[in-house]
A and B are shown apart, each in its own frame.
Chain A
């Protein structure tokens, strides 16, 4: 705060938080990995709420019959028809 010359703590902290978000959007200095169960006939999975930027999405058994996690491709279009469960 001294280096910037600001005396309002709340305002400075708000800007610092913005700066940290922006920094991680560009450089990705703090990385976390989360594993979620894939559930039969469940299509949608909520992203971790603290995620600023997705680095990679991998699935177990994708293109391999071992237990390896491999990056999965993003589809440009979603399937045109719904599943039987409406998802």
Chain B
């Protein structure tokens, strides 16, 4: 049975800081060793348990590796639609920043990506951590095998050495990105009406017609609000909090 842990988070820019409550230095099966490296080097077993008798109640960085330990649920903008979810590559293993320009480059599987992808195509990455989302291909080159690496127009300022993806990345390449009049916007019909009001509001703003802008913005908000509330069934009850002012 896995150890019970206690986490919390705070935000730092576009990063999530995960901190864990508990133990100072952990426990070594041998006496006289106060850190994991020296303990294991001496043949001892290092036990990290967030809540135990040594719990000092302080928060610090996570004290143990937990595969798939952090789950982030988020809303994203549907600037693209995946037209066929079965058309994928599951072979990407590594990523890096290009030495010139600092763009995201991925490779893996000794697959010749040139047979299925073209420069200028849009693809969507999932299970790729920070690289999730839509990317545009700018080059397909040789890395470890023929045409097995893809460079995107996405800026990435990380290391220029190959790093390994944590998960099995899914690359969807049957993707319709929003870039011309014939594209389909992947939103419900009702929200498409809200979108019309939003664009009207922006155009009115550009022309300095602030009354029209305000009206259209209000209609946008009303439709979004209606859409949200239409999904909730039953009566609504407002309940005051224990410390509310009556």
Contact = CB atoms under 8 A, between A and B. Distances in A.
Contact of B185 (A16, A21, A38, A64): A16
A35 B167 contact: yes
Contacts of B75: 24-25, 28-32, 51-53, 55
Interface in B211-246: 220-221, 224, 227-228
Interface of A is mostly: mixed
Interface string A15-57: 1111111111111111111111111111111111111111111
Given A38-B66, A63-B6, A47 B60 contact: no
Given A37-B66, A72-B7, A44 B12 contact: yes
A34 B199 contact: no
Given A6-B203, A29-B78, A34-B71, A13 B62 contact: no
Contacts of A59: 5, 7, 18, 66, 69-71
Contacts of A51: 72, 74-76, 132
| Residue picked from B2, B8, B134, most chain A C-beta under 10 Å | B8
Instruction: Give the size category of A's interface with B.
Output: 35 or more
Nearest to B8: A75
Nearest to A38: B69
Interface string A61-73: 1111111010011
B189 to A, nearest CB: 12
Given A23-B187, A44-B15, A75 B59 contact: yes
Given A19-B199, A46-B14, A57 B71 contact: yes
Contact of A23 (B67, B127, B191): B191
Given A51-B76, A55-B74, A62 B15 contact: no
Interface of B: 1-12, 14-19, 48, 58-79, 126-127, 129-134, 154, 166-167, 178-181, 185-188, 191, 194-196, 198-200, 202-203, 220-221, 224, 227-228
